[in-house]
Amino acid sequence: MLIASALLVLLMLFAFAVVAGRRDWSHGIVYAGCFVASMALLSAGIEHLGHRDSAPSVVLPFGLPWLKAHFRIDNLSAFFMLVVNLSAAAASAFAVGYSEHLPERARVTPFYPLFLFGMNAVLVADDAFVFLVAWEFMSLASWLLVLSDHEKAENRKAGMVYLTMAAFGTFCLLPCFGLLAGPGGDYTFAAMRLKELGEVPGALVILLVVLGTGSKAGLVPLHAWLPLAHPAAPSHVSALMSGVMTKVALYGMVRVLFDLHGEVGWQWGAGIMVAGGITAVMGVLYAVMQDDMKRLLAYSTVENIGVVVIGLGLAIAFKADGERNLAALALVAALYHVLNHSIFKTLLFMGAGAVMSATGERSLGALGGLLKRMPWTGAAFLVGAAAISALPPLNGFVSEWLVLQALFKGPAMPHWAMKFGVPVVGAFLALAAALAATCFVRAYGIAFLGRPRSAAAARAVDVSFGMKGAMAVLAALCVFLGVVPVTVTNALSHVVEPLTGVSFAVSADLGWPWLSPVSSTRGSYSATVLVMVGLAMFGAAIVLVHRIGTRAIRAADAWDCGHAEDIPETQYTAQSFAQPLRRAFGATIFRARETVEMPEPGDDSPARHRVHMIDPVWTYLYEGIGKAVDALADLVNRLQYLTVRGYLLMMFGTLVLFLLVVAARQP
Amino acid sequence: MLQQFSYDLAHLIGATVLMAGFGMLYQRRIFAVLNTFAFQAFALAAAAAWQAHVQHAPHLYATAAIALVFKALLVPFALHWLVERLGIHRTVETALSIGWTMIVGVALVALSILLVLPVTAKAAALTRESLALAMSVVLLGMLMMITRRNAVTQVVGFMALENGLILAAVSAKGMPLVVEISIAFSVLVAMTLFGIFFFRIRERFDTLDLHYLETYRGDRS
């Protein structure tokens, strides 16, 4: 009831924003309304998670004439509803202040509630028709948001690529649900659960759902649209697209692979896990080379989706092998990371948005020294960066640690492929985590530390109260979810229980503050204890320094950090910081080549240092597909210029061919 | 005995229609094609009349009359007039040589017999044979349309195809008259359209060879 009315409010806000979009005061009202609706949906999600039961399916008499619309909320969708609306509420609060500076806000405000509506409707859908319609709502609303600043050619290209990939995703999901429904054509999820799939349709369903939802979530090599489209939208929308919409895609994947599809073989789990590993490493390698702050964050989303997908693949493999406890562990880890990533990615995009609204720049090369001028944003961004780099005691650490713990149990599986494959994926994950830390040290250090690299960065002032508040709440959540991991995993085990079939508490052995996923002797972690001990030692250190340290005063020059002269160009730049990694990894994967052009003696033109890189996915995959489509189109184009007799001949030939087929199939 | 006789006669008339179809493919002169077409339509009218008698379905007499008046008399006459009026080249220009056309035609007849006889295994013998013949006539009409370059012969091929359809319609029991009338009228309309079409082509290009039409499509790259 609460959910339905909140969704209705979102639709009404859309209508209101369309009508009143030209008035300045309307935008604040729309975003405030979105905030209230998101909070209502958030509380509905949390309340449902507390109940541990599945609400009955609600059937509403609209949609296609012979189909009714089915809605239902279970623990899984309640959890994702929490994830979506937590970030949505924060982004709406942020947008109240942020959208004031947007030149194109009249094109943004109406579609924002529609976007929220689409994402929430995907989660409560209980039949394929509603699911796909809501999915398209989400895609198209976000596409319009991507195109809001359509004067720039790069944004138009981003919109085009995004629309193509969204169409591809739905193109995959449509037959996927068709196969799940079978020839009987009952499109409710309840009927799909009961249905036994044959071998070939079952495999096709898995393949199609991984392609369809993977293209939305950003699995390599289907991620190509994501770093183009996410930065093109306004920051509060990019935050939701990157932090939340990719999670809705993962919800679709979990829903089909764990719930609707009866049995998924371990080979599929292994394949999905490897795809996740490659996604994680490739995503972060792209991210570490980026100069554009929002594009860097978008690539980092690709990496984190990879981490989640590793957990999902592992859970499928464990489940297929009957190791249900381990499957539950891997799934808990994946869902925990879903929650964490939605929070810190939203926070980081808001930080990038705050920097953009304060300086007008999103290129790292034009920033620097912002911590002093924007202390709130800087502090919140630091927390987010530390969390996404998986530093304890923040939340990112817990989930990545849990994924690794699940990976360590991989050799328990009976297949040699998995015994050897799982440690490789573990190595990928460790590499990705280390590179992610580098990536965010670079992003934070270049943007917030050092000296300003442009006049705009030097003049920046911190953002308005509402924007700071939204970021501060998310930063506090990053700390909170990291410090009480056991509370979170206990809640998640309720979500996981119907999917893996076991009731499994990750912390069974040692009790509340200790997270000991495998056994009490195999590795356990308690951020609560860690933080308390850390605080105690910190306090003790302060006391000791004050008691024992000398009080004598010594006068000397302040250390100048190696900058004898006050020239910003002598600092590390974003490019120079990434150079070692570019040489180590980029030379093979991106075919990075560096050339130095030295002018001849006597020539006074500047020397140049150029970097040439290719994007292997674009060059080898998408351009190949593009060429194939062109060739095919040329072939089809020839059909336009046949003679009249040629067309008649084709019709006649087709008819005779069909007749021959019918004749040949006679008994 | 009478049953057997009515069967044999229906078969004979249907086969005559089919033979006329082959005859049209064999002709090298346009007037001969038109005459053969008129003969085919006459045979069709006979087939419809005989079916009307055998099935005790008086409405089929109407079909027979329509076939006789329109297809056997009016349409060939109109086409004769058109050819004379326009001074059209009197030979049939073939895209596939006559011998090959006949071989393909025989293959098509074999195909339709192979196809129809097993499919309609449960239907009455009369219907089965006639359906196979009718389908052969349809396919031969199409073959004529694609192997002859001249527009007049294409029109004739189209109407031979219609003849096949009507043959199928009269040999199936209980087909309502409405369908046949509509088919007859569609042929008439088609003839009118083609007539206008001829004049148009003639006005613009001074020939009826479709080949000249094909070079006048502006969007060809």
Instruction: Give the mean pLDDT of chain A.
Output: 87
Higher pLDDT, A318 or B116: A318
Q: Is A612 helix (H, G, I), strand (E, B) or coil?
A: strand
Does any CB of chain B come closer than 8 Å to the CB of residue A661?
A: no
Q: Label residue A559 exposed, middle or buried (CB < 10 Å: 0-12, 13-18, 19+).
A: exposed
Which residue's entry shows tokens 């040629």?
A646
**In the predicted model, is pLDDT for residue A530 greater than 90?**
no
Cβ of B217 and A649 within 8 Å? no
Spacing of C-alpha B86 from chain mean position: 23
Write out pLDDT tens, residues A118-131: 999 999 998 898 99
Inter-CA distances, A58 with A78, A115, A499, Å:
15, 23, 21
**H/E element holding A666?**
none
Res A53: pLDDT? 64
**Chain A residues with beta carbon closer than 8 angstroms to that of B118:** 663, 666-667
The dihedral sign for the CA sequence A538, A539, A540, A544:
positive
Cβ(A361)–Cβ(A428) under 8 Å?
A: no
Cβ distance B220 to A641 less than 8 Å, yes or no, reads yes
Q: What number is the average pLDDT over the span A243-271? A: 91
CA distance B149 to chain A (A): 8
Interacting residues of A461 by C-beta distance below 8 A, sequence separation 6+: A358, A373, A374
Whether residue A175 has pLDDT greater than 50: yes
Domains and CATH numbers, chain B: 2-93+116-214 (1.10.287.3510)
- Tell me which chain A residue has its CA closest to the CA of residue B154: A645
Q: Do A648 and B146 touch (CB under 8 A)?
A: yes
Note whether A200 contacts B: Cβ–Cβ < 8 A. no
pLDDT tens-digit map of B14-70: 889 999 999 988 888 888 998 999 999 899 889 888 888 888 877 778 878 878 887
Taking residues A114-141, report their average pLDDT. Answer: 92
The rounded distance, in Å, linking the Cα atoms of A212 and A552 is 68
By CB atoms closer than 10 A (0-12, 13-18, 19+), residue B94 is middle
**For A486-521, what is each residue's pLDDT tens digit?**
888 888 888 888 888 887 766 666 666 777 777 666
B214 touching chain A per CB within 8 A: yes
- pLDDT (0 to 100) of residue B216: 57
Comparing alpha-carbon positions, the chain B residue that sits nearest to A664 is: B115
Of A641, A652, A663, the CB nearest to B115: A663
> Which range is least confidently modeled, A65-79, A215-229, A343-357?
A65-79
The per-residue pLDDT for range A163-174, each reduced to its tens digit, is 999 999 999 999
Pick from A110-124, A214-228, A281-295, B177-191: least confident: B177-191
Helix (H, G, I), strand (E, B) or coil at A328: helix
Q: pLDDT tens, B197-208? A: 666 566 555 555
Measure the CA–CA gap between A132 and A256, rounded to whole angstroms: 13
The predicted pLDDT at position A628 comes to 94
What span, in angstroms and rounded, lies between the C-alpha atoms of B153 and B30? 7
Check residue A616 and give its pLDDT.
84
Return the higher-pLDDT residue of A484 and A92.
A92
High-pLDDT (> 70) share of chain A, %? 96
User: Is B178 a residue whose pLDDT tops 70?
Assistant: no
What confidence score (pLDDT) does residue A648 get?
A: 83
Lowest average pLDDT, out of A203-217, A295-309, B103-117, goes to B103-117
Banded pLDDT at B214 (limits 50, 70, 90): low
A240-249, A309-318, B58-67: which range is least confident on average? B58-67
Burial label, A665 (beta-carbon count in 10 A; 0-12, 13-18, 19+):
exposed
User: In sequence order, which ranges of chain B are alpha helices (DSSP H)?
Assistant: 2-26, 30-55, 59-66, 75-86, 98-119, 125-147, 151-171, 177-205, 210-214
* Residue A280 half-sphere exposure toward CB, CA atoms < 13 A: 30
Name the token pair of A424: 């490789």
In angstroms, the CA A611 to CA A582 distance is: 10
For residues A177-196, average pLDDT:
83
- CB distance A660–B139 less than 8 Å? no
The top-scoring range by mean pLDDT among A104-113, A247-256, B39-48, B160-169 is: A247-256
Mean pLDDT of A230-245: 91
What's the rounded mean pLDDT across residues A602-627?
A: 85
Which tokens belong to A486?
Answer: 């056991």
- Quickly state the pLDDT bin for A159 (edges 50, 70, 90): very high
**Nearest CA among A266, A185, A176 for reference residue A213:** A176
Structural contact between residues A525 and A485, judged by C-beta atoms closer than 8 angstroms: yes
The Cβ of residue A104 has, within 10 Å, a number of other Cβ atoms equal to 14
**Which element (helix H / strand E) includes A525?**
none
> Could you tell me the pLDDT band of residue B221, with boundaries at 50, 70 and 90?
very low
Contacts of A239 (CB under 8 A, 6+ apart): A87, A91, A94, A345, A346, A349, A350, A353
Out of A50-59, A384-393, B52-61, the most confident range is A384-393
ipTM confidence: 0.80
**Ranges A193-197, A469-473, B128-132, most confident:** A469-473
Question: Tell me, what amino acid is at B209?
Answer: D
User: Parallel, antiparallel, or unpaired for β A69-71 and A608-612?
Assistant: unpaired
Judged by DSSP in three states, A37 sits in helix
Cβ within 8 Å of residue A276, ≥6 positions away = A219, A305, A306, A307, A308, A309, A310, A311, A312, A313, A425
| Residue showing tokens 């008439």 | B188
Please tell me the distance in Å from B183's CA to the nearest CA on chain A: 21
Nearest 5 degrees, angle CA A316-CA A319-CA A321? 110
Per-residue pLDDT band at A294 (split at 50, 70, 90): very high
| A537-582 pLDDT, tens digit each | 999 999 998 888 777 888 888 777 766 667 777 788 888 888 888 8
- The bridge status of strand A593-597 relative to strand A69-71 is unpaired
Q: Please, what is the average pLDDT of chain B? A: 78
Contact check, Cβ <8 Å, B118/A649: no
CA distance A303 to A308: 9
Angle, CA of A485, A489 and A492, to the nearest 5°: 145
CB contact under 8 A, A644 and B214: yes
Query: Which of the four pLDDT bands, split at 50, 70 and 90, describes residue B215?
Result: low
**Contacts B139 to A, Cβ<8 Å:** 656
Is A652 part of the contact surface with chain B (CB cutoff 8 Å)? yes
Q: To 10 degrees, the CA torsion angle through A501, A506, A507, A512?
A: -90
DSSP string, A105-141: HHHHTTHHHHHHHHHHHHHHB-BHHHHHHHHHHHHHH
Q: Which residues between 94 and 123 in chain B have a beta carbon less than 8 angstroms from any beta carbon of chain A?
A: 95, 108, 111-112, 114-115, 118-119
Query: What is the CB neighbour count within 10 angstroms for residue B74?
Result: 15
Least confident of A78-82, A147-151, A609-613, B174-178: B174-178
Residues recorded for chain A: 667
Higher-scoring residue by pLDDT: B120, A465: A465
Is the bond leading into A221 cis (omega within 30 degrees of zero)?
yes
